[in-house]
Structure 1
């Protein structure tokens, strides 16, 4: 037992006073003579004995009463078992990722955690609060009350390792009490390494009642018809769903199509037919789980004619005139010696068809063209020198050309999943009539293969800078060297290589992936474009590229939806944004990783545990009670003991 005010114990010397009073009473007895009656004399002796016992009882009672009172003022206590940690700083890590939208017994997990913090955190408790997106250092619950009530779900995944690193970068003078509040979806062993060895770590893992979920992964154009698009909606099913899932397509707020799917497999696909005109809407599903992945926003602009220039001999370019027809393309066929270099920046695709020598100036011009989002197709000539090819390839990739091998090769493999063929084949084909070549250049490097030979080397490969594509053939495609021009692959291959997907495809960007958009627009020096919808707007990073502008979105916007690119109030293009589907699979829960730490089921439990472990057991109140009891006992002795 220890005392908060041990100096008060000096007053125990006061116990001497009642002892002196009882032992050295100043009262003197005076003898009185009465009739010699034996009975009265015996009674006097008994009264004196009873009076002596009463005095000793009163002395003991008063000594104990005074001693208990002095002990009470000294405030005795028993030392806490974890008193060394009583001055620790508290850090609360709160997961506000989309998976916290799932519902527990008391509603959405994040809202339940916020409510628990607001109700059970002591007002005088200082702490730091770290979320996926927000940081509040050394604050109290009243100061962050509004921020907690307005806390939104974040598209940023819960990266515990990153948040712990952020905490470590801020210097702390005292040890930390760390409270982690998360559903543990997506957490792995690496994330908790920084917690290993810490003495005071509490984990609260609220559990969802429903771990099943359905989410829309992607919307793409599966087929171009004369007057319609056929779009494909890819849907993922996590867990076992019993009821059919309704799927609806909205153009703006107008419902234009609806169907249902049976969630009997993990991956589902449903198709819709849309008119070939501007579309600015979304696909939506309904399920009783996460809501962030129930809508996928996308925009389709009315097709524009793509500008295509082919550089090469007119006779060799003849097959391209039958592909790039006037109803869909503005096609230009030019000889190298008649090429207008200034016209290239207005093209969507440039095809170099069997140029024996590619000038350095052309390579430099096309490098800038590629950086601005243009597509380039290189078809080498049999007479091309390896040195000249490599000088040109160096502008776009790490590909290196080797010597031409006069050896027949069969094209045997199609990359059906490559963006070039995603809308061409409904399913993989095994008995396809593959073309062949009589001679091909060897290449080193790692392009994305599109068409490959039987020896696994590529016939057609590609590299991309995310806004433009560079396609390279390893062999000439003239009829002397190959029968590729007679293959069914010739039309979709060259057709899709010439398409500017930012003009003809779906405009749907993923928030946080810092994607880019190239627009044909002329801005003055001080003009900027904005991206806005009815709820919010932001100014993206923008770079002027002659008659074009390059927009970079970074981590914006904060919410998914349909937006428009505006120059002043003029709409330049409709685009859409969606959150990455990284939180949709609730089965990624790894709560067993926190078994080594203190598990709690509420914030109140954390503070109760800390208080009981670090607060000494004060027992002064028991001495006050004892004082009152001895006072009562003295009164009883005075009244009933004669």
Structure 2
């Protein structure tokens, strides 16, 4: 037995006082004469015995009552040695991902969790907690209850390993404390449970189970055909569950209903529907009706007015093949001879192609270096005969390296790096029976960079260094047949397209998203993204003719947003929730080794409270004190 206030036990020494008073009675007896001495002596002996017993009983009851009062104030308790030597820390993880919109026996799973935590009487006095987008360290239980009802769904998700790392950061560094983690989740998805849990953390899982695992989802929207005046949009839908005969699909522009159709969805199958729209500033939304999970019933998208990509070819050789690639519907293509080059046009371009220049003079080098540093894309095609000194000076300035040797033997281009962004989604399959182009003469570069196209001897024909692309051979017909091969169009087309990455129809919240806004802004201007309810400043890089914008966790709410320069709208961009949680498949928390499983939130916290193994007894001693006072009263009043 331990005591919270052991210093009060010294008061037990005061119990000696009533004992002394009882043993040393100072009052003297007075004698009274009486005629019948025999009778008086018998009465006297009998009275003195009963009085002596009564006084001892009263003394014991009084001593016991006082002792119980002292022990009650000292607050005795029993505990195990482990808990006596350590403090207990509790961390609560509430998974508030979008899949918890699924309904259980008491409504939406997340709302049910909030209600049960609010009503729980076994919450520790101090608890740390976190969700997928919020956290709090050492909150009082009343503080947790005041905020738990306001918790909302988050498009952000934490993997099991990330959640464990987050939980560890909320525990203290005290090695002797008992650390308990309560993990509340539906365990949706196909992640594998961590094999090695932290040894110093006791994990208790509470798995939430929906009553219905059927779900309909709007998966994607894409442009499937382009006509002279319209675009054909294809909507892809998925059914995760039982067949549905008639699923209505509505297309809105802003808040106006434009078209409506319906599809039949078979069990666990996908289906598509098509709409036609005009290809000018269309802010669209696809809607379906499904009561199971709500976040994937809408999909926002927008089509902005096209901004042509500016391409400049600086020539000393024939550029007829470039004129065929960079057509006026997508590109503003300029072709200038090196001898009559307008240097003022360089900084306005998105892509510059050096087509067969034999020499790179210092003024041109300085202008191109400034263009490259501002984020412009540079393509270098050497001539058959080049001034190595000027080329090496320029290549070294771009951190590409220097020309090593000239190679005069014929070589074939045999390797296409399909994983490179230029060729992603260009070919349906990795081509093996391709009629590869060849070159007669080439150069080799001392340093190797990101390969795009590679010769049969494993040297690079086309390489990339940041935003610079370098060919190691002339593309003139007498040296190479590359301009007549099928590779020439996707190669030059995709290089230019990536120099101004226009917004997609939409992006997914919580993922790395990058797009460019075609605008020439003063250096002190900052773009912001906003709609009626949200306004934030994204990560951005301002160059001479565009602003490169990067977003990840923001915005948090799906919708169509505007990109603004102060009050001026530059273009729109759409964001949607990721569809990764649309399929309601669940892991079984009981299969997670080295963890305990609880059937409910209430049971988990009851088990946690019981595991503390601390039993307090001060209330019992108060009851005993009252009992002994009552015994004393009975002895004084009843016993004769």
**Which bracket does the TM-score occupy, shorter chain normalised?**
0.7 to 0.9
Q: Is the 8 A contact 2:560 2:574 kept in 1?
A: yes
Quick one: distance in 1 between partners of 2:472 and 2:237? 37
Quick one: distance in 1 between partners of 2:529 and 2:46? 102
Residue 286 of structure 1, CA deviation: 6.4
Quick one: distance in 2 between partners of 1:512 and 1:317? 43
Quick one: distance in 1 between partners of 2:623 and 2:588? 48
The aligned counterpart of 2:381 is: 379
Quick one: distance in 2 between partners of 1:270 and 1:447? 41
Task: Evaluate the alpha carbon distance shift between residue 279 and residue 177 of structure 1 in structure 2; reply closer, same or farther with a 3 A threshold.
Answer: same
Quick one: distance in 2 between partners of 1:288 and 1:446? 52
Q: Is the 8 A contact 2:590 2:597 kept in 1?
A: no
Task: Evaluate the alpha carbon distance shift between residue 478 and residue 534 of structure 1 in structure 2; reply closer, same or farther with a 3 A threshold.
Answer: same
Q: Is the 8 A contact 2:235 2:273 kept in 1?
A: yes
The aligned counterpart of 2:493 is: 495
The aligned counterpart of 2:476 is: 478
CA deviation string 1:597-637 (max 9, x = no partner): 66554267436634652343343155247537846986998
The aligned counterpart of 1:151 is: 151
* Pairs within 5 Å for 1:521-536: 521-523=519-521, 528-536=526-534
Q: Is the 8 A contact 2:66 2:625 kept in 1?
A: no
Residue 119 of structure 1, CA deviation: 2.5
Q: Is the 8 A contact 1:221 1:505 kept in 2?
A: no
Quick one: distance in 1 between partners of 2:339 and 2:635? 124
Residue 544 of structure 1, CA deviation: 4.7
The aligned counterpart of 1:203 is: 204
The aligned counterpart of 1:602 is: 601
Task: Evaluate the alpha carbon distance shift between residue 541 and residue 499 of structure 1 in structure 2; reply closer, same or farther with a 3 A threshold.
Answer: closer
* Structure 1: gaps of 5 or more residues: 35-40
Residue 281 of structure 1, CA deviation: 2.8
Quick one: distance in 1 between partners of 2:342 and 2:228? 34
Quick one: distance in 1 between partners of 2:460 and 2:260? 42
Task: Evaluate the alpha carbon distance shift between residue 382 and residue 372 of structure 1 in structure 2; reply closer, same or farther with a 3 A threshold.
Answer: same
The aligned counterpart of 2:624 is: 623
Q: Is the 8 A contact 2:310 2:332 kept in 1?
A: yes
Pairing 1:69–2:65 present: yes
CA deviation string 1:128-159 (max 9, x = no partner): 44444444444424445554333333444433
The aligned counterpart of 2:78 is: 79
Question: Which of 343, 346, 350 is the aligned partner of 1:344?
Answer: 346
Q: Is the 8 A contact 1:399 1:447 kept in 2?
A: no
CA deviation string 1:77-112 (max 9, x = no partner): 342225536755655454444455555554444434
Task: Evaluate the alpha carbon distance shift between residue 16 and residue 266 of structure 1 in structure 2; reply closer, same or farther with a 3 A threshold.
Answer: farther
CA deviation string 1:510-564 (max 9, x = no partner): 5566655443435467654432112222234555544544545464333232111
Secondary structure of 1:576 counterpart = strand
Q: Is the 8 A contact 1:223 1:230 kept in 2?
A: yes
**Structure 1 stretch displaced more, 555-564 or 248-257:** 248-257
The aligned counterpart of 1:37 is: none
Task: Evaluate the alpha carbon distance shift between residue 145 and residue 447 of structure 1 in structure 2; reply closer, same or farther with a 3 A threshold.
Answer: same
The aligned counterpart of 1:299 is: 302
Aligned length: 616
CA deviation string 1:195-241 (max 9, x = no partner): x235xx4534333336787777765556655445456767889xx63
Q: Report the RMSD for the aligned CA atoms in angstroms.
A: 5.1
Q: Is the 8 A contact 1:94 1:182 kept in 2?
A: yes
* Pairs within 5 Å for 1:73-222: 73-75=69-71, 77-81=76-80, 84=84, 88=88, 90-98=90-98, 100-101=100-101, 103-120=103-120, 125-143=125-143, 145-158=145-158, 159-160=162-163, 162-164=165-167, 166-167=169-170, 175=177, 177-183=179-185, 189=194, 192-193=197-198, 196-197=199-200, 201-209=202-210, 221=223
Residue 575 of structure 1, CA deviation: 1.3
CA deviation string 1:425-459 (max 9, x = no partner): 5666665554444444456535253x555566654
Residue 179 of structure 1, CA deviation: 3.4
The aligned counterpart of 2:9 is: 6
Quick one: distance in 1 between partners of 2:553 and 2:176? 35
Quick one: distance in 1 between partners of 2:435 and 2:288? 41
Task: Evaluate the alpha carbon distance shift between residue 605 and residue 332 of structure 1 in structure 2; reply closer, same or farther with a 3 A threshold.
Answer: closer
Q: Is the 8 A contact 2:527 2:565 kept in 1?
A: yes
Quick one: distance in 2 between partners of 1:365 and 1:588? 58
Quick one: distance in 2 between partners of 1:456 and 1:224? 40
Residue 477 of structure 1, CA deviation: 3.0
Q: Is the 8 A contact 2:65 2:626 kept in 1?
A: no
Residue 574 of structure 1, CA deviation: 0.9
Q: Is the 8 A contact 1:250 1:282 kept in 2?
A: yes
Structure 1 length as normaliser, TM-score? 0.75
Q: Is the 8 A contact 2:92 2:130 kept in 1?
A: yes
Q: Is the 8 A contact 1:511 1:557 kept in 2?
A: yes
Residue 379 of structure 1, CA deviation: 2.6
Quick one: distance in 2 between partners of 1:19 and 1:522? 106
Task: Evaluate the alpha carbon distance shift between residue 370 and residue 526 of structure 1 in structure 2; reply closer, same or farther with a 3 A threshold.
Answer: closer
* Pairs within 5 Å for 1:46-61: none
Task: Evaluate the alpha carbon distance shift between residue 339 and residue 293 of structure 1 in structure 2; reply closer, same or farther with a 3 A threshold.
Answer: farther
Question: Which of 307, 310, 313 is the aligned partner of 1:310?
Answer: 313
Q: Is the 8 A contact 1:222 1:230 kept in 2?
A: yes
Secondary structure of 1:491 counterpart = helix
CA deviation string 1:408-427 (max 9, x = no partner): 44455556665545565566
Pairing 1:280–2:283 present: yes
Structure 2 length as normaliser, TM-score? 0.75
Quick one: distance in 1 between partners of 2:443 and 2:588? 51
Quick one: distance in 2 between partners of 1:27 and 1:367? 129
Question: Which of 352, 355, 361 is the aligned partner of 1:353?
Answer: 355
The aligned counterpart of 1:577 is: 575
Task: Evaluate the alpha carbon distance shift between residue 613 and residue 269 of structure 1 in structure 2; reply closer, same or farther with a 3 A threshold.
Answer: farther
Residue 573 of structure 1, CA deviation: 0.7
Q: Is the 8 A contact 1:204 1:602 kept in 2?
A: no
Quick one: distance in 2 between partners of 1:565 and 1:150? 30
Quick one: distance in 2 between partners of 1:266 and 1:390? 58
* Structure 2: gaps of 5 or more residues: none
Q: Is the 8 A contact 1:516 1:550 kept in 2?
A: yes
Secondary structure of 1:75 counterpart = helix
Secondary structure of 1:322 counterpart = helix
